A = this chain, B = another copy of it.
Amino acid sequence: MNQASSTKPFKRLLLTGAGGGLGTMLRDRIKPWADVVRLSDIGDLGPAREGEEIVRCDLADRAAVLGMMEGVDAVLHFGGISVEDKFEPIMNANILGLHHLYEAVHKCGVKRVIYASSSHVVGFYPTTELVDASMPLRPDGFYGLSKCFGEALSRYYYDRFGTETVCLRIGSSFPEPRNPRMMVTYLGYDDLVELIRCALFTPRVGHTITFGASDNDIRWWDNRHAGHIGYKPKQSSRVFAHNFPDTGERPAPDDLPTIYQGGPFVTNGPQY
Is the beta-carbon distance between B156 and A258 smaller than 8 angstroms? Answer: no
Give the interface segment out of A21-29, A49-57, A168-176, A201-209.
Answer: A201-209
**Which of B184, B202, B217 touches A232 (beta carbons < 8 Å)?**
B217
Q: A208-B128, A218-B202, A246-B9 are in contact. Are A139 and B152 (CB under 8 A)?
A: yes
Q: A124-B159, A202-B218 are in contact. Are A224 and B152 (CB under 8 A)?
A: no
A224 to chain B, nearest CB (A): 6
A65 interface hit (Cβ, 8 Å): no
Distance A130 CA – B133 CA, assembled complex (angstroms) = 12
Q: Contacts of A9 on B, CB cut-off 8 Å?
A: 245-249
Write out the residue numbers on chain B whose beta carbons fall within 8 Å of the beta carbon of A136. 133-134, 155
In the assembly, what is the distance between CA of A180 and CA of B202, in Å? 10
Residue A46 CB within 8 A of the other chain: no
Q: How far is the CA of A34 from the CA of B248 in the complex (A)?
A: 9
This chain's copy number in the assembly = 6
- A156-B130 CB under 8 A given contacts A228-B219, A228-B220: no
- A149 interface neighbour in B126, B141, B152, Cβ under 8 Å: B152
In the complex, are the beta carbons of A180 and B206 less than 8 A apart? no
Partner of A91, one of B74, B91, B156, B228: B91
Which residues of the partner chain B approach A246 to less than 8 Å between Cβ atoms? 9, 33, 197, 200-201
Whether, in the assembled complex, A222 has its beta carbon less than 8 Å from a beta carbon of chain B, the answer is yes
A202 to B217, CA, bound (A): 11
Does A148 interact with chain B (Cβ within 8 Å)? yes
Binding site for B on A (CB under 8 A): 9-11, 33-34, 73-74, 87-88, 91, 95-96, 99, 103, 106-107, 111-112, 124, 126-130, 133-141, 144-145, 148-149, 152-153, 155-156, 159-160, 162, 180, 184, 197, 200-206, 208, 216-220, 222, 224-225, 227-232, 245-251, 253, 258-260, 266, 269-270, 272
